[in-house]
């Protein structure tokens, strides 16, 4: 692919940022309050809009309900539009209520299952009102001890609940089903892997697809192969990008393993699956700044994608056919080792943007302005509002 073709593809890439990445959030050990961090959903949207302004490629923001609940959705819709962005995925929250200790849609008690389902249905309505086309579902459901509950029974409850949810999904909405192999459950998780998620989606129908959160796999998992297989079956809905070294670390995507991110983006580029794939970030920054860490994440995805587009696929195919193992690997390396910074600088210059959006943020006085206006929110109040 020549530079102009790569630039056209890069210009079309849109990355969604999460509202929950802009407030004070952290690990289960401590949340360090950040000066200027967003204190409520209106400010979280302002920060997402700033990231879009500086990167030119983040026109949507994902919401988490009830963290982002407001009384007047149409006012929130106006706020988002006025800032030049739109609402992306709506994430129901099925783990933040006292009743969910033994699960939500899989809970043994039908009244808790009803509560969880009603919450999901409410999110479908919120999505409809805000023009969102994605319901992004993650369940913390699982068990922590063998024998705690009936595994097949839990699966049946899950499928029954999701069928009811799916039946209410309007034509324009997709249900993206996320998996995670452990945590908070430590013995069994009800949707632990891509295979279970895919089976569930198959049972539901074509509007249900799998969401791959890059931090949700055991060490050493070949994520790009999962992506390739899901793509082959039309079951890849999108990503929650982040990076991990040990568990679900929610670190800046591409910070631990940029080669993995490149390999994942290459599967997307090879399948030309960009139009049907939701590229979403799901991170929580604790000891680093909120906004510049998000911008760095966006830049890392763009870098990986640019390199993925540079893979000489026809040469690779012919080397593969010859059975030249190292030769084939070197075709990939050649693209991965290319310095794409000049290309990305051109992309940004064509949009009137700084070549380094993190630097633009740091030089632009945005953090100072936010710190003046917002101060440092106490973590208690951040918890209440998040």
Where along the sequence are the contacts to Mn ion (CB under 5 A)? Answer: 213, 240, 282
Size of the site for ligand PSV (CB under 6 A): 9
Q: Which does 91 bind (CB under 5 to 8 A by kind): ligand PSV, Mn ion, none?
A: ligand PSV
Question: Given the complex with ligand PSV, which of 63 and 353 has the nearer CB atom?
Answer: 63
CB-nearer residue toward ligand PSV: 53 or 180: 180
To ligand PSV, the closest distance from the beta carbon of 4 in angstroms equals 36
Nearer to ligand PSV by Cβ, of 19 and 303: the residue is: 19
User: Which listed option, ligand PSV, Mn ion, none, makes contact with residue 174 (CB within 5 to 8 Å by class)?
Assistant: none
Of 39, 44, 53, 240, which lies in the binding site for ligand PSV, with binding defined by CB under 6 A? 240
Burial class of residue 386 in the structure, from the number of CB atoms within 10 Å of its CB (0-12 exposed, 13-18 middle, 19+ buried): buried
Question: What tokens were used for 79?
Answer: 């706020």
Nearer to Mn ion, 221 or 371 (CB): 221
Question: Is the CB of 190 or the CB of 282 nearer to ligand PSV?
Answer: 282
Q: Does residue 193 bind ligand PSV (CB under 6 A)?
A: no
Binder among 138, 241, 279, 366 for ligand PSV (CB under 6 A): 138
Return d(Cα 119, Cα 94) in angstroms, integer.
8
Residue selected from 43, 248, 260, 267 as contacting ligand PSV according to rule CB under 6 A: 248
The CB-of-91 to Mn ion minimum distance in angstroms stands at 8
305 contact, one of Mn ion, ligand PSV, none, CB 5-8 Å limit per kind? none
Binding site for ligand PSV (CB under 6 A): 20, 91, 138, 178, 180, 213, 240, 248, 282
């Amino acid at each position: 692919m020549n530079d102009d073709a790569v630039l056209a593809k890069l210009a079309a890439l849109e990355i969604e940022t999460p509202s929950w990445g802009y407030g004070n959030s952290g690990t289960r050990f401590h949340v360090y309050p950040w000066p200027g961090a967003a204190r409520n959903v209106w400010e979280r949207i302002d920060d997402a809009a700033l990231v879009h302004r500086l990167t030119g490629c983040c026109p949507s923001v994902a919401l988490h309900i009830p963290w982002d609940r407001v009384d007047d959705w149409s006012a929130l819709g106006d706020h988002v539009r006025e800032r030049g962005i739109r609402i992306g995925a709506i994430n129901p929250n099925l783990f933040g209520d006292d009743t969910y200790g033994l699960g939500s849609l899989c809970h043994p008690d039908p009244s808790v299952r009803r509560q969880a389902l009603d919450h999901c249905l409410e999110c479908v309505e919120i999505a409809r009102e805000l023009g969102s086309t994605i319901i992004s579902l993650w369940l913390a459901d699982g068990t922590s001890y063998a024998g705690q509950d009936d595994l097949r029974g839990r699966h049946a409850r899950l499928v029954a609940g999701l069928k009811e949810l799916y039946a209410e999904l309007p034509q324009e909405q997709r249900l993206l089903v996320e998996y995670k192999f452990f945590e908070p459950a430590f013995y069994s998780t009800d949707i632990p892997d891509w295979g279970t998620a895919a089976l569930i989606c198959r049972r539901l129908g074509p509007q249900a697809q799998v969401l791959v959160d890059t931090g949700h796999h055991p060490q050493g998992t070949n994520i790009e192969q999962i992506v390739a297989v899901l793509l082959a079956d039309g079951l890849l809905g999108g990503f929650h990008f982040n990076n991990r070294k040990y568990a679900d670390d929610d670190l800046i995507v591409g910070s631990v393993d940029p080669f993995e991110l490149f390999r994942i983006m290459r599967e997307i580029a090879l399948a030309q699956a960009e139009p049907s794939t939701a590229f979403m970030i799901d991170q929580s920054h604790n000891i680093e700044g909120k906004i510049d860490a998000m911008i760095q994440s966006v830049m890392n995805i763009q870098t990986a994608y640019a390199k993925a587009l540079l893979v000489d696929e026809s040469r690779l195919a012919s080397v593969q056919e010859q059975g030249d193992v190292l030769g084939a690997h070197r075709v990939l390396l050649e693209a991965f080792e290319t310095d794409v910074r000049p290309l990305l600088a051109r992309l940004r210059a064509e949009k009137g943007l700084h070549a380094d959006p993190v630097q633009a943020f740091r030089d632009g006085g945005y953090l100072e302005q936010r710190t003046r206006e917002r101060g440092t929110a106490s973590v208690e109040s951040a918890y209440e509002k998040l």
